[in-house]
Structure 1
Amino acid sequence: MTTLYQRVKWLFKSAAMGLGIAFTAGCAANQPNTFTFTADLPPDFAYQAIAVYVPAKGETCTVPGGRNTEVGYNMKWRENYQPTAEILLRRTVSGCPLVISRIKLDINATYGKTRGDFGGDIASVFIRDEVEEQYKSVVNEAGESNFYGECQWLFRTSGKPRVLRKILNCKTIDAQGERGRGQPFAAFTPDQLPGKTVKMHIKLADEEKPGWGDTWVKVPNGWKRCMGKGYEDQRAYCNGNYKDFSGFLMPDGRQCTIYPGCTE
């Protein structure tokens, strides 16, 4: 037979558990479910972002076909670019509680007027339950976290008329402005982000470089394109011939002999 003491003890334990659950839920409810992502980019740059969501920790549910587990921002960046986005930390899709795990970022930049005159590279924001201290981003007292990158234009020629095209190459940079090997990134634990702002800063390198080696020759006022075996030679490596050069077309249609100044 259950004694009075055992019944009182059970009631007290149940009440304590209930209070604990209510307290935890209250804290979660008081936490904002969004954070702000924004970017400081050079002129003619824009970013696209895709927030990727996965089942919350401890959940065994799945979303059929993975549908609606990603949310895009600035997907039409050419027509309607918005540098600031409010991003949800938690969502429920098909009855499955999801949490954000990553933001995939495309950095796009235009260098001409036609639709194909653009280059792009990637950056990332990672959200993990555990992040090694050496990679963990810092949120300052103002509620902001900043990460940095530098993008550089790499130029080449394309096709028989040798039309100048550009490739965008973006790397992370440190506090001293030194370029690293990887793309720009930030990493957080989920508790760092509610109500906070994450800002990506990208600068453009002062100097442009050839897309790959031994195809252009540096001269005092720019770069000259090696002829190679002729205009049919798409790669046109110099191969020791640093006297025979070819003309090329700028994206705006100008016939040029030197980049970037066009004429010598």
Structure 2
Amino acid sequence: MTSSFFRSRFLLAHAWPALFGLLLSGCSTLGSVGADTFTLEGELPADFALEAQAHYGVANGCNGRARTRSFESDFEDSPHAYRFRIPVNYRDGLCEMRLARVGLFINGRYGDKDWQRTYDNGGLELVDTLPEGAPRFDGNGRLSKTAECTWFFQLSRAHSRKGEISKLLSCSGAGAYLANQTLPGKFVNLSFQVQQEERPARRNTWLSTAQGWKPCVPKEGWQQCQEPPVFGTFRMDGRECTVYPKCKE
């Protein structure tokens, strides 16, 4: 009986460190994946992609640091949906991490070359109190918005492609304020539309004609159209053109 008692104490003494470590490991792992979440979803136009960067701060005063998690949808040749489940809070070891904001990178492409890609920004800001007039979740826990995106064209000044058409992207309405106390379990539907008409990136540098937009040749030291206007040419898809977007009059 005495031998059995000491053998049991010996086994327990040697097993306890491993068991204790396993418990700690299990708590840390479960804490990092168990979280309250909300869903960010919507529709993207063809040749658009979206990246959401969720920024977290330490909420319980532990000795931790801010964290970032990224969620991405890729480019597609046709309109497509995206859906991200974003944690509102989670545990990282002993630290409670709480979502502070979600930065959005709205990526668009207008050609197959690397330089024919650009982006605009948007964002979801978490607040304790919604600003006056800010959209709120409906009775089904959904908030829906549509961002309007416009392409702005210009002549590239880059030495390697000077005189080529390049574009900038601008998206309005690509964000919202969210009340952090009621966010878990909610759905934010943020969709994107592209305006059919493109516009010059700078005023009075192109003139609209019945055939299309024609680029002005400015006076030396002057950025805008001359009076009367003098028109130049530009390059697009390897062709020399006189009007945008048709290229030829």
Q: Normalized against structure 1, the TM-score is what?
A: 0.72
The runs of 5 or more residues in structure 2 that have no matched partner are 1-33
Write out per-residue CA displacement over residues 156-204 of structure 1, whole angstroms, 9 at most, x where no aligned residue.
00136410000001112xxxxxxxxxxx211111233222211112111
Q: CA offsets per residue over residues 202-237 of structure 1, 9 Å max, x none?
A: 11112111101121111112110012258xx8x853
Question: Letter of the aligned partner of 1:240 in structure 2?
Answer: E
Letter in 2 for 1:203: Q
Contact preservation (8 Å) 1:42, 1:202: yes
Is residue 2:155 matched to residue 1:157?
yes
Matched, 1:141 2:139: yes
Output the CA distance in 2 between the equivalents of 1:201 and 1:84: 11
Q: 208, 223, 237: which one pairs with 2:224? A: 237
Which residue matches 1:92?
Answer: 91
Per the TM alignment, residue 62 of structure 1 is displaced from its structure 2 partner at its CA by 4.3
- Residue 239 of structure 2 corresponds to which residue in structure 1? 254
Q: What secondary structure, in the 3-state scheme, does the structure 2 residue paired with 1:191 have?
A: helix
Q: Take 2:140 and 2:170, find their aligned partners in 1: how far apart are those partners?
A: 31
Within 5 A, what are the aligned runs for 1:140-219? 140-159=138-157, 161-172=162-173, 184-219=174-209
Is the Cα–Cα contact under 8 Å of residues 36 and 90 in structure 2 kept in the other structure?
Answer: no
| Matched-pair contact (CA < 8 Å) for 2:39–2:185 | yes
**1-structure distance, mates of 2:35, 2:145:** 22
Give the 3-state SS of the residue equivalent to 2:181 in structure 1.
Answer: helix
Q: Which residue of 2 aligns with 1:104?
A: 103
Change (3 A) 1:240 1:50: same
Contact 2:54–2:69 (CA under 8 A) maintained in structure 1: yes
Give the drift of 1:254.
Answer: 2.0
Q: Which runs of 5+ in 1 are unaligned?
A: 1-30, 173-183
Q: Distance in 1 between matches of 2:129 and 2:38?
A: 19
Which letter maps to 1:246?
A: G
3-state SS in 1 of match to 2:112: coil
Give the one of 47, 50, 58 matched to 1:47.
50
Aligned residues: 210
* C-alpha distance in structure 1 between counterparts of 2:92 and 2:55, whole Å: 12
Whole-angstrom distance in 1 between the partners of 2:147 and 2:71: 20
* TM-score, normalization by structure 2: 0.76
